């Protein structure tokens, strides 16, 4: 799945979930939030300024977000989990209202906007599972220079398992093996973890 499709799916189908983080006192805290909008680079959410947890999030920045919807069976369960980094994004109100016009009335002017914090989960990695589909790993917003490089070695038997899990379609068959397009790879490590033949090197 493309990243924008993942974020849009969360916003449309699984918008309410639990945000967890470490408080200033080093104790774990959590808050139920609703995703306010899905952008190209991540997910937006809103918290009241008088919410103590909002201030913890501003200081800590690192969060996890989990949301799910139960189906009739395990295969029917839908979920997403993200371990990521949050920043304040008060300059993005115009964009967020464009992405979610339902917010336009509640946050129509600066005075309304100043009563809350607008947050953006702009970097992270996670897993998404849609109904009746396999879970997929994904990553977003991570600086490429600080990530591992993943390359296919000659143990590859072209089973295509890694192709199935790559969230950005960066792996394609090439001769008797598969090959990773380094320009598309977001370094999520899903292929590396999936390959049963140790045919993906990480360096
Ligand atoms: S999962 Fe491993 S063996 Fe299978 S196609 Fe990918 S690299 Fe090759
Ligand atoms: S690390 Fe592997 S699965 Fe993840 S984006 Fe790169 S090629 Fe795809």
List, by residue range, all CATH 3.30.70.20 domains of the chain. Answer: 146-202
* Predicted TM-score (pTM) of this structure: 0.66
Task: From the options 2.30.110.10, 2.30.30.100, 3.30.1300.10, 3.40.50.2300, give the CATH code of 3-140.
Answer: 2.30.110.10
Of the candidates 199, 197, 13, the one whose C-alpha atom is nearest the C-alpha of residue 180 is: 199
Helix (H, G, I), strand (E, B) or coil at 124: strand
3-class SS at 69?
Answer: strand
DSSP notation for 30-42: EEEEEEEEE-SS-
Query: Which residue's alpha carbon is at the smallest distance from atom 6 of ligand 2?
Result: 185
CATH topology of domain 146-202: Alpha-Beta Plaits (3.30.70)
Per-residue pLDDT of the chain (203 residues; tens, 9 = 90+): 889 999 999 999 999 999 998 887 778 899 999 999 999 899 999 999 999 889 888 888 889 999 988 755 555 688 898 988 999 999 999 999 999 999 999 999 899 999 999 999 999 888 888 887 877 888 898 655 456 889 999 999 999 999 998 878 899 999 999 999 988 887 878 888 889 998 999 88
Cα(72) to centroid(ligand 2), Å: 31
195 lines ligand 1 (CB under 6 A): yes
Q: How far is CA 8 from the centre of its chain?
A: 11
Residue 175 Rama label (left phi>0; alpha psi -120 to 50; beta): left
d(CA 64, CA 170): 26
Q: How far is the CA of 191 from the centre of ligand 2 (A)?
A: 5
**Using a 6 Å cutoff on CB, does residue 180 contact ligand 2?**
yes
């Amino acid at each position: 799945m493309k990243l924008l499709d993942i974020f849009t799916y969360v916003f449309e189908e699984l918008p309410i979930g639990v945000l967890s983080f470490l408080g200033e006192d080093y104790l774990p805290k959590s808050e139920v939030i609703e995703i306010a909008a899905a952008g190209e680079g991540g997910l937006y959410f809103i918290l009241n300024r008088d919410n103590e947890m909002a201030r913890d999030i501003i200081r800590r920045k690192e969060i996890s977000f989990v949301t799910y919807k139960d189906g009739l069976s395990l295969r029917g369960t839908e979920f997403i989990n993200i371990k990521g980094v949050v920043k304040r994004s008060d300059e993005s109100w115009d964009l967020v209202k464009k992405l979610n016009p339902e917010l336009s009335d509640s946050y129509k002017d600066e005075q309304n906007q100043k009563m809350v914090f607008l947050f953006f989960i702009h970097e992270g990695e996670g897993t998404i599972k849609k109904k009746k589909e396999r879970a997929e790993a994904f990553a977003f917003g991570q600086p490429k220079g600080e990530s591992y490089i993943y390359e296919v070695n000659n143990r590859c038997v072209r089973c295509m398992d890694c192709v199935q899990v790559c969230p950005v379609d960066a792996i394609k068959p090439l001769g008797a093996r598969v090959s990773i397009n380094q320009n598309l790879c977001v370094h999520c490590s899903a292929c590396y973890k999936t390959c049963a033949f140790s045919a993906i090197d990480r360096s």
